[in-house]
Amino acid sequence: MPRNAFYAQSGGVTAVINASAAGVIETARKHRKQIGKLYAGRNGILGALTEDLIDTSKESPAAIRALKNTPGGAFGSARYKLKGVEKGGHEYERLIEVFKAHDIGYFFYNGGNDSADTCLKVSQISATMGYPIVAVHVPKTVDNDLPITDTCPGFGSVAKYVSTSMMEAVLDVESMARTSTKVFILEVMGRHAGWITAATGLAQQKAGQGPHILLFPEVPWNEEAFLARVEESVKQHGYCAVGASEGIQDAEGRFLSESGLKDAFGHSQLGGVAPMLANLVQSKLKLKQHWAVADYLQRAARHIASKTDLEQSYAVGKAAVEYAVKGMNSVMPTIVRSSSRPYRWKIGVAKLSDVANVEKKMPRDFITPDGFHITAKCRNYLQPLISGEAFPPFENGLPKYVRLKNAAVRKKTQGVWNP
């Protein structure tokens, strides 16, 4: 007898997380003998806790196909970490209650480190509760910080966006520097790992071209060294372009962005490493500067997604279902690189116990000895990940993105979620 399945999106969404959803849904539809209905959680795991399930069978094949072209989280995602067994485990119990009520035997959780841990626990706790659930994690994070997998679905597209944007901004600044902006700073995501910052470095294709400086969270912030390098770059090349991580921190681990900007009313200024750096450049070096903060634009930019990333995102969704119907439990499909030139990859598998709560930072030999740029080894790693274009369809000048019907499933439990 087939059992139903539950899919949820977790944490920050990406340009291609819906491609993973499409991989899960389309593959589940091909395994009718094992998988009955595929339900999605409205707003991620909250959909399970509140028993707000979406019936994906109401969506047409065309709508599911269109998910491959649509950024954001089609069913809603959530930043929510289930309260663990040390707090009574009531949330896990509630989850199992809902799964039981809807005959859900498969759990697909699409997220990063936290959700890998949750996924593992669902598998373990459901077994101890006598209602064993096959739990498979579908990797997703723009931060590229999951272990074992060569890369994380979602990262390649951000990398393509930031490297393209940096390359374009550099051409702009370079052509105006004689009479206008001398220093340009682009702030990108990646609070703990410098992968996205590293990707901005791909825009530099010849020595002397921008970006000239990358600021990684892995390299302790040093104001003097930074300013000296900016000055040198402006002297040598006429301008200086900087790719800066939002997570720059000093040797004591204090975030630069928390070092105390105040507004006119004395309120703390929120975020914004780029404006801080720009201020520093202006006040200490008296150089005209401009800055950009890409924020959500970078992780939502489906219009410039990496084809490689898109294919991998779909492939991990597909593999997750294939593993699950084979009875593989507490696992995560991984991307395995077999060659960089030419780039070859395949899908592998990792045990969730090896994945959960492990953070992969930039290796030191991916960063130049002076700490300000990426090495050739890093370029070899990054370059294939941004390869290939996968433009969405356009209509009236704008990308044609799908919004699903997201029809609710009738509730069956009497229980409620007590957060």
Interface residue with a copy of itself among 127, 287, 292, 358 (CB under 8 A) is: 292
**CA 250 to CA 256: how far, in whole Å?**
7
Decide if 24 contacts 325 (C-beta within 8 A).
no
Interface residue with a copy of itself among 112, 272, 317, 333 (CB under 8 A) is: 272
Catalytic annotation, pick one of 117, 143, 145, 309: 143
Interface residue with a copy of itself among 203, 213, 390, 404 (CB under 8 A) is: 203
Distance between first and last Cα of the chain: 34
Interface residue with a copy of itself among 102, 182, 229, 299 (CB under 8 A) is: 299
Interface residue with a copy of itself among 33, 87, 178, 235 (CB under 8 A) is: 178
Q: Which of residues 94-153 bind a copy of itself (CB under 8 A)?
A: none
The site string for a copy of itself over 309-338 (x = CB under 8 A, - otherwise) reads: ------------------------------
The site string for a copy of itself over 53-72 (x = CB under 8 A, - otherwise) reads: -----------------xxx
CB of 181 to a copy of itself, least distance (A): 8
93 binds a copy of itself (CB under 8 A): no
CB of 186 to a copy of itself, least distance (A): 8
Peptide bond into 342 cis (omega under 30): yes
Active site residue 295: no
Interface residue with a copy of itself among 16, 24, 35, 74 (CB under 8 A) is: 74
Decide if 185 contacts 291 (C-beta within 8 A).
yes
Please name the residues in contact with 47: beta carbons below 8 A apart, sequence gap of 6 or more. 8, 40, 41, 53, 54, 75, 76
Pairing of strands 213-215, 240-245: parallel
**Which tokens is 373 given?**
């740029």
Phi then psi for residue 158, to 5 deg, are: -60, -40
CB of 127 to a copy of itself, least distance (A): 28
SS3 content of the chain, % helix, strand, coil (to 5): 40, 20, 40
Interface residue with a copy of itself among 172, 255, 285, 361 (CB under 8 A) is: 172
Comparing CB distances to a copy of itself, the nearer of 196 and 350 is 196
Decide if 25 contacts 38 (C-beta within 8 A).
yes
Region near a copy of itself per CB under 8 A, out of 57-65, 93-101, 220-228, 295-303: 295-303
**CA 240 to CA 47: how far, in whole Å?**
47
CB of 53 to a copy of itself, least distance (A): 15
Comparing CB distances to a copy of itself, the nearer of 279 and 375 is 279
Comparing CB distances to a copy of itself, the nearer of 215 and 305 is 305
The C-alpha torsion from 82 through 145 and 201 to 220, rounded to 10°, is: 90
Q: Which of residues 342-401 bind a copy of itself (CB under 8 A)?
A: 383-389, 391, 394, 396-399, 401
**CA 103 to CA 267: how far, in whole Å?**
51
The C-alpha torsion from 9 through 11 and 14 to 20, rounded to 10°, is: -30
Interface residue with a copy of itself among 179, 339, 414, 418 (CB under 8 A) is: 179
Q: Which residues are catalytic?
A: 143
